[in-house]
Amino acid sequence: MTPPKRYHPVLVVLHWLSAILILFTLLSGLSSLDDLPNTPEKAPLLATHMTMGLLIFGLTVLRLVIRFVTRKPAPATAGHPLLDKIGIATHWLLYLGALGMGISGLGIASQAGIFPLLSGETVPLPADFSIYPPRIGHGLVARLLLALIALHIGAALYHQFIRKDGLLGRMWFGK
Ligand code: HEM
């Protein structure tokens, strides 16, 4: 049976939705969340961040499940076996990175006892989240994820404009 030309439409939706949510959560986390003092005014921002982070985590798990049960297009080539291997590794590291952010985020929230923020309750915030080990991992994986996203976007542009193989169309709707 010939492989389909595109990914399953549910995977297409999940890909672009995750891309928007991850970029927003990463950039807002690195630019504002980390810099703000842990006063009570920070609670709504943290609650929004945690909600988006949990949503991304759930969507990533759902995406992996759907990926395994749907038919995928044939493997793409970037024109060199080493580049193809880097491409495959980048895709799996992106999944791992998204899951790693969710798990380390859950670790920080549980150690800091801030889950009640999700239901609008008030809890005291620690002076600095870095006293919790998962916070170190969360910061490191965030930077790794940002680098992987840059590589992923660079590769998509390379396929689209240099190889002109229409690879981006596989992650869009159509027959
Ligand atoms: C893919 C999902 C997520 C992304 C992309 C993300 C991104 C970030 C970033 C970029 C930072 C700042 C890191 C730094 O400057 O070193 C941060 C901090 C934080 N995140 Fe997340 N996060 C995610 C999921 C979560 C989840 C699920 C939770 C909790 C349920 C969470 C809780 C926190 C907390 C408590 C901080 C510390 C804020 C501070 O130090 O003031 N995150 N996150």
The reported pLDDT for the residue numbered 56 is 98
Find out whether 3 and 72 touch, Cβ atoms under 8 Å: yes
CA 95 and chain centroid, separation:
7
For 43-157, strand residue ranges (E) read none
Take atom 18 of ligand 1 and give the residue whose Cα is closest.
Answer: 29
The model's pTM is 0.95
Residue pair 45/36 in contact (Cβ under 8 Å)? The answer is yes
**pLDDT one-digit tens code per residue, 16-60:** 999 999 999 999 999 989 889 999 999 999 999 999 999 999 999
Q: How close are the terminal C-alpha atoms of the chain, in Å?
A: 16
Regions of the chain short of the pLDDT cut 70: none
Are the C-beta atoms of 155 and 77 separated by less than 8 Å? no
Q: Using the mean position of ligand 1's atoms as its centre, give its distance from the Cα of residue 141 in Å.
A: 10
Taking CA atoms only, the protein residue closest to ligand 1 atom 5 is 26
Mutate to test the pocket of ligand 1, among 33, 115, 131 (most ligand atoms within 8 A of CB): 33
Q: Domains in the chain and their CATH numbers?
A: 9-171 (1.20.950)
Q: Is 87's C-beta closer than 6 angstroms to any atom of ligand 1?
A: no
